[in-house]
Chain A
Amino acid sequence: MRYERTGGGFNLAALLLAAGFSLIAFHAGPALALDTAGGTAGLTAPFRPIYLVLAAILVAALAGFYMGRTQSLRTAGGQIRDLHSLPSYYGFYVALWCGLPAFVLFVAWMIVEPGIVDDMVLAGLPSSLSELPPQRLGLILNDIHNLAAGEGFARVADEQMVAAARHYNALREIGFWAMVAAIAAFAAGGLYHGRARIAPALRARNGVERTITVMMIVCSTVSIFVTIGIVLSLLFEAIRFFQLVPFWDFLFGLEWSPQTAIRKDQVGSAGAFGAIPLFAGTLLITFIAMCVAVPIGLMSAIYLSEYCPRHLRGIIKPALEILAGVPTVVYGFFAALVVAPFFRDTGMVIGLDVASESALAAGMVMGIMIIPFVSSLSDDVINAVPQAMRDGSYALGATRSETVRQVIVPAALPGIVGGILLAVSRAIGETMIVVMAAGLAANLTANPLEAVTTVTVQMVTLLVGDQEFDSAKTLAAFALGLVLFFITLGLNVFALRIVRKYREIYD
């Protein structure tokens, strides 16, 4: 009886496993047949159903779960009380043993295999090709990839290349099946190991929870590594830029005209990469935006949290937050098509010369966009001021506005400042509105009626279109990005510290 049930559980899992892998084989069959067709045009990418491998791992883990669960109950003679953990934890325990090593192997394989295959293909090239300089070799490898995938006949496909592509495909195919075999072995081994360890005294729950904790840690570090990767890529490109343009000329230069020469003897071929006008423009627009956003946002936050009846608050607060959901391109339209012409026309009436693309228009609209940031962050910190503060003030005979001015705002001030700084860093990084409404002219001016440009806008224009990735013009974008990154990072860190410090006061 006992023996039979053990066999039953194992059979189910084996069936699932077999089903998964035979599905792969079934799909692979026709592809293999096709590949023998031969001929240059007959080259097709080998059939490598990655998603099926993933599905098979999942199915195996699922099978492991059911096996672990039933087996644990059986070892305890059907008494859950005698088990250290609930049966489903034993299920997860076996599932993790079965699925996790296999999955890790899968990921590692996917990362490592392409490089190895490339090296092998390059090593197999005839010496006429393999002795080319590294850059040409990269192009050739690219061609081989395209050829192997059955596309890309842009360049002449000669015999050698076709042979290399065929070699490449063969290697990829071998690699794939080797991976399938290795994963199957890992999954089966893990399953066996996990099941062998099941006993009523096994602390399955602790094991599972520890594993899950580790998995969460890995996930949360992903974003950190991505950030580091972003900084490093910016840094390397920026260093290349600073080899072409001196660092101080970039940071403190007063002129920005990022041309690169088409011919060496062209007039003005040097270009000027002084970033001051860009940062000045950014500062001007951010300043205008904050002039709009801070008073309006703060006033509405105070109204919402101190004066507004609750049912009205339920309407106004979401309505304000809709502003945050409007895509910035739409704000850009609004700035370029409504606000900027309005300013120009008004300027004409009162005799002011307003550029059709002005810092004022862009800044105003950006300010409107930022209002919900300021208001909802301020609203949060104002609400965090304890009711007891208000009661204390009212009980002394203070009016609402006295209470707001003398107790609530001072108490919430650090938090409000933190919120404003976060809004500033948002404004500095904003691109779309400025592209559409402030123009591209790098004027060094404090006059809000003129056109200015910002760091982000210049980065976009430097990188849009066909670019060579080693001219000073293109690399300048990375240098700008790096400086911008550090400015907003500094602002964010500063703001978050202020906000956190404020939180501690009432705890």
Chain B
Amino acid sequence: MANTQLQDADPRDGAVSSRPAARRTKMAARDVNVFYGDTHALKGVDLDVYEHEVTAFIGPSGCGKSTLLRCLNRMNDMIEGCRVSGEMTLDGRDIYSRDIDVVQLRAEIGMVFQKPNPFPKSIYDNVAYGPRIHGLARTKSDLDEIVLTSLEKTGLLDEVHDRLDQPGTGLSGGQQQRLCIARAIAVSPKVILMDEPCSALDPIATARIEELIDELRENYTIVIVTHNMQQAARVSQRTAFFHLGSLIEMDETEQVFTSPKNEHTQGYITGRYG
């Protein structure tokens, strides 16, 4: 029903046609509708997120990018009055089915937020937080190992190795955001969701994080929301464009940015509106 307005440019058709054989669907959404009370925030969204790729969500403010992202790890459960319908899967498992343990699911699908939000704890404890609650380390040295490799992967280790016991809130904005990424990868998630991770950062820190995203792609699947067209073009393999709660177009990033099928997409990426 909600699909009718998408029929002029069905995103899935485009996606499927240009999909190389080696690709594997990591997460999928089928006819997802989200309501906040009476607000219909997402309207019949279907999309696939492929393994070891970066998928970018773009679109004007309020079009439902964050909403969809939060549905992917069920953070919307926390919001009162939010209803989700449709089907969402991780590796073919329905993540909204009754026998899914939300806590376990969120350990598999990590999230990085727009504003860096380190806990008011030491740098070490920030990264060790996830492994501790999930019992990932048996001994202190196991835990050290996890913390250090996570910091290493985000390139933060060199900068903070001599002050791991200092509060994480004392780092610079870019360092804090990398600390949050380290904290997310410390629990070895399969997917990392990033909601405008660079919007509070300067160009240098942004470049550092973009680099990091590209490296992380090797081991993780990444979904990133961004308002920065260049960033989407630089870091992502596939791009989804949303408008007013609907998925308008989804395809290879190059395809979307060079020859978009939909006039709305064209208008948005050329900066005519949004």
Contact = CB atoms under 8 A, between A and B. Distances in A.
B134 interface: yes
A310 B79 CA distance: 11
Given A388-B113, A388-B115, A391-B75, A396 B133 contact: yes
Interface string B81-109: 00000000000000000000001111110
A396 B106 contact: yes
A309 B80 contact: yes
B75 A396 contact: no
Contacts of A399: 103, 133
B110 A393 contact: no
B117 interface: yes
A390 B106 CA distance: 13
A407 B180 CA distance: 15
Interface in B182-234: 183-184, 187
Contact of B110 (A309, A395, A410, A505): A395
B130 interface: yes
B273 interface: no
A470 interface: no
Interface string A388-432: 111111111111001000110011000000000000000000000
A394 B78 contact: yes
Interface string B106-128: 11101101010111110000000
A399 B105 CA distance: 12
Nearest to A311: B80
Given A388-B113, A402-B133, A406-B129, A395 B119 contact: no
A399 B120 CA distance: 18
Interface string B158-201: 00000000000100000000001001100100000000000000
A396 B107 contact: yes
Contacts of B115: 388
B91 to A, nearest CB: 17
Nearest to A506: B120
**Most central of B78, B108, B133 by chain A CB within 10 Å:** B133
Given A402-B133, A406-B129, A406-B133, A394 B117 contact: no
Contacts of A309: 80
B150 interface: no
Nearest to A392: B117
Contacts of B104: 397
Contacts of A310: 80
A505 B113 contact: no
B239 interface: no
A386 interface: yes
Contacts of B120: 389, 410-411, 505
B129 A394 contact: no
B113 A391 contact: yes
A314 to B, nearest CB: 12
A388 B118 CA distance: 9
B229 to A, nearest CB: 26
A224 to B, nearest CB: 35
Contact of B187 (A388, A397, A402, A407): A397
B75 A395 contact: yes
Nearest to B125: A406
Interface size class of A (residues with CB under 8 A): 20 to 34
A407 to B, nearest CB: 6
Interface string B121-150: 100000001100110000000000000000
Given A309-B80, A388-B113, A392-B113, A397 B119 contact: no
A399 to B, nearest CB: 5
B154 interface: no
**Most central of A388, A407, A410 by chain B CB within 10 Å:** A388
A397 B113 contact: no
A24 B29 CA distance: 87
B77 to A, nearest CB: 9
B129 A393 contact: yes
B73 interface: yes
A310 B119 CA distance: 25
A397 B117 contact: no
Contacts of B118: 392
Given A386-B117, A411-B120, A395 B129 contact: no
Interface string A364-395: 00000000000000000000001011111111
A136 to B, nearest CB: 70
Contacts of B169: 505
Nearest to B116: A388
Nearest to B167: A505
A381 to B, nearest CB: 13
B117 A389 contact: yes
Interface in A342-371: none
Nearest to A411: B120
Contact of A391 (B103, B117, B121, B187): B117
A390 B169 CA distance: 15
**Most central of A390, A392, A397, A411 by chain B CB within 10 Å:** A397
A231 B237 CA distance: 74
Contacts of A398: 103, 129-130, 133
B117 A396 contact: no
B107 A392 contact: no
B222 to A, nearest CB: 15
Given A388-B113, A399-B103, A402-B133, A393 B184 contact: no
Interface string B59-83: 0000000000000010100101000
B37 to A, nearest CB: 12
Given A309-B80, A388-B113, A396 B121 contact: no
Contacts of B121: 410
Contacts of A394: 75, 78, 106
Contacts of B117: 386, 388-389, 391-392
Given A396-B107, A398-B130, A407-B119, 6 more contacts: A389-B119, A394-B75, A394-B106, A396-B129, A397-B133, A406-B133
19 contacts: A310-B80, A389-B117, A389-B120, A391-B111, A392-B118, A393-B119, A395-B106, A395-B110, A395-B113, A396-B107, A396-B183, A397-B106, A397-B108, A397-B133, A397-B134, A398-B103, A399-B133, A410-B120, A411-B120
**6 closest Cβ pairs, A-B complex:** A397-B107, A388-B117, A395-B111, A397-B106, A396-B130, A392-B117
